[in-house]
Chains A and B, each alone.
Chain A
Amino acid sequence: MCLGIPMRVLESRDGAGEGELAGVRRPVRLDLVPAARPGDWVLVHAGYALQVLDPAAAEETLAALREVGEIGREEPR
């Protein structure tokens, strides 16, 4: 029950919206993420979006991961 899943916002109207992940559509309440717009990815839990995912921050982490991935490959075993 504590699962949070990312969904893409398809539409939003007065706090009520619809989200989609891998072709599955679900109603999503957007009351807690007033800045969310259609096209944004949000983290959804118990029918509510709790946060808007930040692509720039994700990219920072991914860059760090790519670095570690490289180091990991170069390291002699």
Chain B
Amino acid sequence: MRFPSPDPSLPFRAPEAVRGLAAELARLDPGRPVRVMHVCGTHEHAIGAAGLRDLLPPWLRVTAGPGCPVCVCPAAEIDCAARLAADRGVVVAAFGDVLRVPSRLSLEEARARGGDCRVVGGIEEAAALAAAEPGRPFAFHAVGFETTACTTAAAVRRGLPANLSILSSHRLVPPALEALLAPGGPAPDGLVLPGHVLAVTGLGEYEALHRRRPVPMAAAGFEPAEILLALAWILRRLRGEPSRERVGNAYRRVVRRRGNPEARRALAEVFEPVDADWRGLGRIPLSGLALRGRFAALEARTRHGIAEDPAVGDLVPGCRCGEVLLGAAEPEECALFGAACTPESPRGACMVAFEGTCHARFRTGAAR
């Protein structure tokens, strides 16, 4: 069986399907207010762009959680990368959004001070840049969840140019969700799981999470119908309807039970889980990835003898990114939102990144 060209996602945008699903959601009223959280910046964009919140019944609220890897990267790690560029003569390659994230010293500011910071679309581009200038030290600031970490792992496993090191700021999604769902916290009634992370990891870790934190959760793709399907699955569980599946999957064309075994193997070979800080959320056990064993010497912190400075604070006064990342506050509740803080002059990380909740809300709110 083959997909019709030009784009296999088109049918999942069909207006009739979206309308039908919206009507279905309205019928699934559990008789109380429901808050479902997604944890993916791309979901926030998709929801905003398709105007999905306007289609939801009044008792259903969809909020955004800590789903933006750039936003959750602590300021102290950005500061590390910036000091490598500004003070150590290391060429720092990073995703475009990372350059603008505020810190004591941002990468953009490091560049203004004469540091060499380059925008890349992934580690392959960083490796090509480093290979072209073998006489200069390069570092790739590796920011991202499992989706990005497995690409770092694949490149490391294949072999990097000798002058390229890795500043690992990779983070794992399940430990953050576990912290978020802890009793007594601002736990949502259901979780829409990030489809591309689960494309890599599969459903297993989330089934284990569900055993410990029994909140209905379903994987979703990024087309409107796929997001609504996941919401419908969650609502059926909240109404007590049984399912054979412990974790729902509304993204079957990409998410398989075991994920991508080759990508998981690469992750396990190259990285080991370590305790890590999340901007605005604090330290979460075993939620970060460090280069392991024979790859540990590739870490930029080790190679260049640099470490995070605990004096670097995460948030500027007034910025509520921490609460926004937890879904405990909406961007509009921040006094700086849209006034002192805009995508053009961001005050907090959530406004910088394309996937940041404040950024997405500003863009899609302004578009409508």
Residues of A within 8 A of B (CB): 1-4, 6, 8, 15, 21-22, 27, 29, 31-34, 39, 41, 43, 45-48, 50-51, 53-62, 64-66, 68-73, 75
Q: Mark B22-42, 1 if CB is under 8 A from A, else 0.
A: 111001000000000000111
Interface residues of chain B: helix, strand, loop or mixed (majority): helix
Given A45-B151, A45-B196, A47-B123, decide whether A1 and B70 contact each other with a Cβ distance below 8 A.
yes
Q: Which of B234-268 contact A (CB under 8 A)?
A: 250, 252-254, 256, 260, 262-263, 266
Could you tell me if B17 and A54 are in contact, using CB atoms closer than 8 angstroms? Answer: no
Is B147 an interface position by the 8 A CB rule? yes
Q: In the complex, what residues of A have CB within 8 A of residue B144's CB?
A: 1-2, 46
Q: In the complex, what residues of B have CB within 8 A of residue A64's CB?
A: 229
Assembled-state Cα–Cα distance A60/B222 (Å) = 17
Could you tell me if B21 and A68 are in contact, using CB atoms closer than 8 angstroms? Answer: yes
Is B294 an interface position by the 8 A CB rule? no
Q: Mark B340-361, 1 if CB is under 8 A from A, else 0.
A: 0000000000000111000000
Could you tell me if A55 and B252 are in contact, using CB atoms closer than 8 angstroms? Answer: no
Could you tell me if B8 and A58 are in contact, using CB atoms closer than 8 angstroms? Answer: yes
Is B275 an interface position by the 8 A CB rule? no
Could you tell me if A32 and B266 are in contact, using CB atoms closer than 8 angstroms? Answer: yes
Given A54-B252, A55-B8, decide whether A72 and B21 contact each other with a Cβ distance below 8 A.
yes
Separation in Å of the A75 CB from the closest CB of chain B? 6
Residue of A nearest to B15 (CB): A69
Number of interface residues of B (CB under 8 A): 64
Assembled-state Cα–Cα distance A68/B148 (Å) = 35
Q: In the complex, what residues of B have CB within 8 A of residue A75's CB?
A: 23, 27
Residue of B nearest to A62 (CB): B11
Q: Mark B125-153, 1 if CB is under 8 A from A, else 0.
A: 10000000000000000011101101100
Assembled-state Cα–Cα distance A6/B196 (Å) = 11
* A47 CB contact (under 8 Å) in B41, B125, B254: B125
Assembled-state Cα–Cα distance A46/B124 (Å) = 8
Assembled-state Cα–Cα distance A70/B19 (Å) = 10
Given A45-B196, A51-B254, A59-B1, decide whether A65 and B20 contact each other with a Cβ distance below 8 A.
yes
Residue of A nearest to B194 (CB): A2
Could you tell me if B14 and A65 are in contact, using CB atoms closer than 8 angstroms? Answer: yes
Separation in Å of the A64 CB from the closest CB of chain B? 7
Return the 4 tightest CB-CB contacts between A and B, nearest first: A72-B20, A46-B122, A47-B122, A58-B253
Q: In the complex, what residues of B have CB within 8 A of residue A71's CB?
A: 20, 23-24
Given A6-B7, A56-B1, decide whether A1 and B97 contact each other with a Cβ distance below 8 A.
yes
Q: In the complex, what residues of A have CB within 8 A of residue B337's CB?
A: none
Q: In the complex, what residues of B have CB within 8 A of residue A3's CB?
A: 42, 354
Assembled-state Cα–Cα distance A73/B2 (Å) = 29
Could you tell me if B199 and A60 are in contact, using CB atoms closer than 8 angstroms? Answer: no
Q: In the complex, what residues of A have CB within 8 A of residue B158's CB?
A: 15, 31
Separation in Å of the A52 CB from the closest CB of chain B? 9
Is B317 an interface position by the 8 A CB rule? no
Could you tell me if A69 and B16 are in contact, using CB atoms closer than 8 angstroms? Answer: yes
Separation in Å of the B81 CB from the closest CB of chain A? 15
